[in-house]
């Protein structure tokens, strides 16, 4: 019988709303610093988010939105340099406390720890972005709450490929059937489902109209007592915010549709 042993959290869009006012702003600061007249507005960035990975997104932009660069330009070197600068700017924004956790995230993390449900991260973003976000919002010791932080280039293929979730499961030493993933985007959901992990989706402004077929449930947010979520898909019963008992019920329904749940 399967019991819920770990929660695997995506970062960008799930732990925190990092894209519009974080990564996008950091990219634009890097472009300006490099003397480039590139500017990613909110709408264009929403289109570029189709591609996971900041370096891959830069390359996608250069290949599809910019005139072909002169053959003498070392485009690989340019992408690497711009991404390093962008990461520096993102870390500045994070450490300035400008990127808060989404509602309910801290409460759920602390509840999982208190009840012995293990925690992991499975993200496309650069590892130092993760540790900076956790340190700035929960304190440096919170990095140790996670038994595995699977991030960025540690796997050959980024989301929607399942590689990062397989890597996290391996680091946890758990079967996909013992876990739940929390995601915000279609790329993220494809990745977690591809690894066989049932997934709760909490959408944001960039992802709310995406296709979340296969998600255990789709909510507007995790919510807090007194400030509940909207249900976009799936059955939330009478719950108004996501806590561990909500996740256990979701897990049991997916794992044991006939109702013989193994809820401790
Ligand atoms: C979202 C991403 C990341 C960020 C940018 O990651 O695709 O690439 O947009 O971060 P996830 P980097 O939703 O999996 O957390 O520039 O460091 O890639
Ligand atoms: Mg995400």
Give the CA distances from residue 62 to residues 28, 87, 233, in Å, rounded to whole numbers and listed in that order.
14, 18, 36
pLDDT mean over 214-237: 97
Span 30-54, pLDDT tens digits: 999 999 999 999 999 999 999 999 9
The protein residues having their C-beta less than 5 angstroms from ligand 2 (an ion) are 10, 12-13, 184-185, 188
pLDDT beyond 80 at 193: yes
Distance of CA 151 from the midpoint of ligand 2 (Å): 12
Active site positions, annotated? 10, 12
pLDDT beyond 90 at 198: yes
Query: Distance between CA 4 and CA 264 in Å, rounded?
Result: 9
Nearest-ligand number for the alpha carbon of 23: 1
pLDDT beyond 70 at 205: yes
**Residues belonging to the chain:** 264
What is the pLDDT at residue 254?
78
What is the pLDDT at residue 262?
42
Span 63-76, pLDDT tens digits: 999 988 898 999 99
Nearest-ligand number for the alpha carbon of 18: 1
Atom of ligand 1 nearest to the CA of 185: 13
pLDDT beyond 70 at 256: no
Q: Is the CB of 159 under 6 A from ligand 1?
A: yes
Which protein residue's CA is at the shortest distance from atom 4 of ligand 1? 125
Query: Distance between CA 81 and CA 69 in Å, rounded?
Result: 16
Q: What percent of the chain has pLDDT over 70?
A: 96
Which protein residue's CA is at the shortest distance from atom 10 of ligand 1? 125
pLDDT beyond 80 at 255: no
What is the pLDDT at residue 43?
98
What is the pLDDT at residue 264?
38
Query: Distance between CA 176 and CA 4 in Å, rounded?
Result: 10
Atom of ligand 1 nearest to the CA of 11: 15
pLDDT mean over 228-238: 96
What is the pLDDT at residue 67?
86
Span 168-182, pLDDT tens digits: 999 999 999 999 999
Which pTM does this prediction carry?
A: 0.95
What is the pLDDT at residue 258?
58
**In the predicted model, what is the mean pLDDT of the chain?**
95
pLDDT beyond 60 at 260: no
25-31 long-range contacts, Cβ below 8 Å, gap at least 24? 25/89, 25/93, 26/86, 26/87, 26/89, 26/90, 26/93, 27/54, 27/58, 27/82, 27/86, 29/85, 29/86, 29/89, 30/82, 30/83, 30/85, 30/86, 30/88, 30/89, 31/82
Q: Is the CB of 160 under 6 A from ligand 1?
A: no
DSSP string, 159-200: TTSSHHHHHHHHHHT--GGGEEEEE-SHHHHHHHHHTT-EEE
- Nearest CA among 165, 171, 178 for reference residue 248: 178
What is the pLDDT at residue 58?
98
pLDDT beyond 80 at 150: yes
């Amino acid at each position: 019988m399967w019991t819920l042993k770990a929660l695997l959290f995506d970062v960008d869009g799930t732990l925190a709303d990092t894209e519009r006012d974080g990564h996008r702003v950091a990219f634009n600061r890097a472009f300006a610093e490099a003397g480039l007249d590139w500017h990613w507005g909110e709408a264009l960035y929403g289109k570029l988010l189709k591609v996971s990975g900041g370096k891959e997104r830069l390359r996608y932009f250069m290949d599809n939105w910019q005139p072909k660069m002169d053959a003498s330009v070392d485009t690989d070197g340019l992408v690497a340099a711009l991404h390093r600068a962008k990461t520096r700017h993102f870390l500045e924004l994070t450490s300035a406390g400008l990127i808060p956790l989404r509602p309910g995230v801290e409460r759920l993390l602390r509840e999982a720890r208190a009840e012995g449900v293990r925690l992991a991260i499975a993200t496309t973003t650069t590892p130092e972005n993760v540790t900076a976000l956790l340190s700035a919002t929960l304190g440096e010791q919170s990095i140790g709450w996670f038994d595995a932080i699977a991030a960025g280039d540690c796997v050959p293929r980024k989301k929607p490929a399942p590689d990062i979730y397989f890597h996290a499961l391996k680091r946890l030493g758990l079967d996909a059937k013992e876990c739940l993933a929390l995601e915000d985007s279609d790329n993220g959901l494809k990745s977690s489902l591809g690894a066989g992990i049932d997934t709760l989706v909490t959408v944001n402004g960039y992802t709310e109209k995406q296709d979340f077929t296969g998600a255990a449930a789709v909510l507007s947010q995790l919510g807090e007592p007194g400030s509940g979520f909207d249900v976009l898909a799936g059955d939330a019963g009478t719950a108004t915010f996501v806590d561990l008992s909500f996740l256990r019920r979701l897990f049991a329904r997916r794992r044991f549709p006939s109702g013989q749940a193994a809820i401790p």
